[in-house]
Amino acid sequence: MARPRSKSDEEVMAATMRAVSAHGVSSLTLAHVAAEAGLAPSTLAERYGSKRALLLAAAKSAARPAPASTPPASASSPRDAAVDYLVSLARHVGDRRAFAHHLAFLELDVADPEFRAAAADHLAAVLARLESFGLSAREARALYVAYNGALVLWALTGEGSLEGSLRADLSHSPEPGGASTSPSA
DSSP annotation string for 104-170: HHHHHHHH-HHHHHHHHHHHHHHHHHHHHTT--HHHHHHHHHHHHHHHHHHHHH--S-HHHHHHHHH
Report the C-alpha gap between 22 and 102 in whole angstroms. Answer: 10
Mean pLDDT, the chain, integer: 86
In a domain, 68, yes or no: no
CA atoms of 54 and 103, how far apart (whole Å):
17
What are 134-148's pLDDT values in tens digits?
999 999 999 999 999
Q: In 3D, which of 71, 81, 77, 62 has the Cα closest to residue 126?
A: 62
Kindly report, residue by residue over 82-113, the tens digit of the pLDDT: 999 999 888 878 789 888 988 888 899 999 99
CA 156 to chain centre: 18
Say whether pLDDT at 170 is over 90.
yes
Give φ, ψ of 174 to 5 degrees.
-65, 145
pLDDT at 65 over 60: no
88 & 159 share domain: yes
If asked whether residues 50 and 101 sit together in one domain, one would say no
Phi and psi for 122 in degrees, rounded to 5?
A: -60, -45
Distance between CA 184 and CA 161 in Å, rounded?
A: 25
Q: What is the CATH number of the domain that holds 24?
A: 1.10.10.60
67 within some domain: no
Look at residue 141 and tell me if it is in a domain.
Answer: yes
Q: Does 86 map to a domain?
A: yes
**Residue 54: what pLDDT?**
96
Same domain, 127 and 98: yes
- Span 112-132, pLDDT tens digits: 999 999 999 999 999 999 999
| Residue range(s) defining the domain that contains residue 23 | 9-60
Distance CA(138)–CA(16), nearest Å, equals 33
At residue 91, φ and ψ (nearest 5 deg) are -60, -25
The answer on pLDDT for 184 being more than 50 is: no
Task: Specify whether 38 is located in the same domain as 127.
Answer: no
pLDDT at residue number 3: 54
Portion of the chain with pLDDT greater than 70, in percent? 84
Q: 182 pLDDT exceeds 50?
A: no
